[in-house]
């Protein structure tokens, strides 16, 4: 532990060898976390290198912000810093994925015809289930929601409060989940 503290102090002072020694000691932790969190994204094999870089940047920041007089060990502190950074990366990657889906004309990956066909079939099945179990108001909300519109936009179009629309979306999800879980 004392050796790690000495390396931290030297690394903060600009000693690159001390920082490299720290990275070498904590590399398995950084790699493990990068793999874990990149797997939460759509293309984990392509995201791993990006997440590894982000993990190393977070580790660098942890070295520079760690207080030697802290009651928390550096290992625990750096792990939390890396985790927080990678969670932010997952959120960012997933929100970009949602934005790409809502920006595309028909929400399908045109580069992969098989995925396109499967997605269209699933969407047809979902709309069919919705017709059977939703009220007329919920069907209207569902159609807008499936087109990628947010509750605020839908509320303006159907002349209802945003809260009413959010409640309808919640009911729709619950009904569809019950319907699909019952095997109907």
Give the pLDDT score at 127: 76
Query: Same structural domain for residues 71 and 121?
Result: no
List of residues 6+ apart from 126 with CB closer than 8 A: 146, 176
Query: Same structural domain for residues 122 and 148?
Result: yes
41: left (phi over 0), alpha (psi -120 to 50) or beta: beta
The owner of tokens 């920006």 is: 103
Give the pLDDT score at 124: 74
Query: Same structural domain for residues 65 and 122?
Result: no
**Alpha-carbon span 21 to 18, nearest angstrom:** 5
Statement: residue 180 has pLDDT above 80: no
**Alpha-carbon span 45 to 54, nearest angstrom:** 15
**Alpha-carbon span 24 to 14, nearest angstrom:** 17
Q: Counting Cβ atoms within 10 Å, is residue 116 exposed (0-12), middle (13-18) or buried (19+)?
A: middle
Give the pLDDT score at 182: 64
CA-wise closest residue to 97 among 46, 36, 52: 46
Whether residue 108 is contained in a domain is answered as no
Determine the average pLDDT of the residues in 51-62.
91
Query: Same structural domain for residues 15 and 91?
Result: yes
Determine the average pLDDT of the residues in 54-69.
90
Query: Same structural domain for residues 9 and 85?
Result: yes
Q: How many domains does the chain have?
A: 2
Q: For Cα atoms 118, 129, 95, give the angle at the middle one, nearest 5 degrees.
A: 55
Domain boundary among 103, 137, 172: 103
Write down the pTM of the prediction. 0.52
**Alpha-carbon span 114 to 77, nearest angstrom:** 45
Higher local confidence (pLDDT), 23 or 181: 23
Predicted confidence band of residue 184 (pLDDT cuts 50, 70, 90) = very low
Higher local confidence (pLDDT), 41 or 134: 134
Query: Same structural domain for residues 26 and 46?
Result: yes
Determine the average pLDDT of the residues in 8-33.
92
- CATH of residue 130's domain is 1.10.10
Give the pLDDT score at 23: 92
Q: What are the structure tokens assigned to 108, written together?
A: 């399908």
Whether residue 153 is contained in a domain is answered as yes
Supply the range of the domain harboring residue 15.
Answer: 2-103
């Amino acid at each position: 532990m004392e050796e790690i503290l000495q390396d931290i102090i030297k690394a903060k002072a600009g000693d690159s060898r001390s920082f490299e020694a720290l990275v070498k000691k904590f590399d398995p932790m950084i790699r493990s976390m990068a793999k874990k969190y990149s797997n939460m994204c759509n293309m984990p094999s392509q995201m791993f290198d990006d997440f590894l870089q982000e993990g190393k940047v977070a580790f660098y920041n942890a070295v520079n912000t760690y207080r030697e007089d802290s009651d928390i060990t550096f290992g625990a502190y750096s792990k939390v810093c890396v985790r927080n950074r990678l969670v932010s990366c997952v959120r960012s990657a997933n929100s970009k994925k949602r934005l790409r889906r809502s920006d595309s004309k028909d929400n399908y990956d045109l580069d992969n015809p098989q995925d396109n066909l499967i997605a269209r079939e699933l969407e047809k099945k979902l709309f069919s289930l919705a017709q059977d179990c939703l009220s007329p108001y919920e069907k209207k909300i569902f159609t807008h929601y499936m087109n990628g519109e947010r509750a605020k936009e839908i509320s303006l179009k159907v002349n209802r409060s945003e809260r009413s629309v959010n409640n309808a979306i919640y009911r729709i999800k619950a009904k569809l989940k019950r319907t699909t879980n019952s095997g109907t």
